[in-house]
Structure 1
Amino acid sequence: MNNDQETIRLTPVLEQRADPWIYKHTDGFYYFTASVPEYDRIEIRRSATIAGLRESVPVVAWRKHDAGPLSANIWAPELHFVDGKWYIYFAAARTTETNEGLFDHRMYVLENSSTDPLDGQWVEKGQLRTAWESFALDATSFEHRGVRYLVWAQKDLHIPGNSNLYISEMSSPWTLRGQQAMLSMPEFDWEIIGFKVNEGAAVLKRHGRIFITYSASATDHHYCMGLLTADENANLLDPRSWNKSRQPVLVTNEQIQLYGPGHNSFTVSEDGSHDLLVFHARNYKEIVGDPLYDPNRHTYVCELKWHADGTPDVAGSVNT
Structure 2
Amino acid sequence: MNQHRQRRRALRLLLVALAALVLLPFAVPSTVATAAPGTTFQNPIVGTPNSADPWLGYHNGSYYYAATTWTGSIYLRKSSTLAGLKTAAETRVFQMSQTNATSNMWAPSLHLLNGRWYLYYSAGPSSCCGGQRQHVLESAGSDPMGPYTYKAKLNLMPNDGWAIDGSVMTVGGANYFVFSAFTNNGSFESGATQNLYISRMTNPWTVAAHGTLISQPTLAWERQGNPVNEGPYVLQRGGRTFLTYSASYCQTPDYKIGALELTGSDPMVRSHWTKMANPLFQRSDANGVYGPAHHTFFTSPDGTEDWIVYHANSSASQGCGTTRTSRAQRISWNPDGTPNLGVPVSTSTVLAGPSGENSNPGAVSVRRLQSYNFQDRYVRHADFTVRIDPNVSPALDGQFRVVAGLADGGAGYVSFESVNYPGYYLRHDNYVLKLAPNDGSSTFRADATFRQVAGLASSSWSSYRSYNFPDRYIRHSDYVLRIDPISTDTARQDATFRLVS
- TM-score band w.r.t. shorter chain: 0.7 to 0.9
Q: Which has the higher contact order (CA 8 A, sep 6+)?
A: 1
CA distance in 2, matches of 1:155, 1:199: 10
Q: Does 1:201 align with 2:235?
A: no
CA distance in 2, matches of 1:119, 1:248: 36
CA distance in 2, matches of 1:54, 1:241: 40
The equivalent of 1:130 in structure 2 is 156
Q: Does 1:304 align with 2:338?
A: no
Matches within 5 A, 1:1-320: 11-16=43-48, 17-25=51-59, 27-36=60-69, 38-65=70-97, 68-96=99-127, 101-120=128-147, 122-132=148-158, 133-157=160-184, 161-178=192-209, 180-219=211-250, 220-231=252-263, 234-287=265-318, 291-293=319-321, 295-316=322-343, 320=421
Q: Tell me the TM-score normalised to structure 1 length.
A: 0.87
Q: Secondary structure at the match of 1:126?
A: strand
Deviation at 1:114, TM superposition (A): 2.7
Identity %: 32
For residues 228-277 of structure 1, give each alpha carbon's deviation from its aligned partner in whole angstroms, at most 9, with x where no partner exists: 1114x721111111110222211111100000000110001122111001
Say whether the 8 Å CA contact 1:304–1:317 is kept in structure 2: no
AA at the equivalent of 2:213: M
Q: Secondary structure at the match of 1:302?
A: strand
Deviation at 1:316, TM superposition (A): 4.6
For residues 33-87 of structure 1, give each alpha carbon's deviation from its aligned partner in whole angstroms, at most 9, with x where no partner exists: 1113x4332111112221121222121111233x841122110011111111111
Deviation at 1:154, TM superposition (A): 1.0
Task: Report how many residues are paired.
Answer: 299
CA distance in 2, matches of 1:184, 1:302: 27
CA distance in 1, matches of 2:210, 2:161: 18
- Summarize the Cα distance change of 1:158–1:265 in structure 2 as closer, same or farther, 3 Å threshold: closer
CA distance in 2, matches of 1:241, 1:119: 37
CA distance in 2, matches of 1:161, 1:190: 17
Deviation at 1:217, TM superposition (A): 1.4
AA at the equivalent of 1:182: L
Query: How large is the RMSD of aligned CA atoms in angstroms?
Result: 2.1
Q: Secondary structure at the match of 2:286?
A: helix
Deviation at 1:178, TM superposition (A): 4.7
CA distance in 2, matches of 1:123, 1:280: 28
- Summarize the Cα distance change of 1:228–1:114 in structure 2 as closer, same or farther, 3 Å threshold: same
Q: Considering only CA atoms, is the larger Rg found in Structure 1 or Structure 2?
A: 2
Q: Secondary structure at the match of 1:102?
A: coil
Q: Secondary structure at the match of 2:120?
A: strand
AA at the equivalent of 1:41: S
AA at the equivalent of 1:128: L
AA at the equivalent of 2:155: R
Q: Secondary structure at the match of 1:212?
A: strand
CA distance in 2, matches of 1:117, 1:39: 21
- Summarize the Cα distance change of 1:237–1:119 in structure 2 as closer, same or farther, 3 Å threshold: closer
Q: Tell me the TM-score normalised to structure 2 length.
A: 0.57
Ranges in structure 1 where 5+ consecutive residues have no aligned partner: 1-8
For residues 164-219 of structure 1, give each alpha carbon's deviation from its aligned partner in whole angstroms, at most 9, with x where no partner exists: 11112100111111574211011112212222211001101112210111001111
The equivalent of 1:5 in structure 2 is none
CA distance in 1, matches of 2:71, 2:182: 21
CA distance in 1, matches of 2:77, 2:179: 24
Say whether the 8 Å CA contact 1:71–1:95 is kept in structure 2: yes
Deviation at 1:10, TM superposition (A): 6.0
CA distance in 1, matches of 2:156, 2:101: 17
AA at the equivalent of 1:292: C
CA distance in 2, matches of 1:144, 1:31: 24
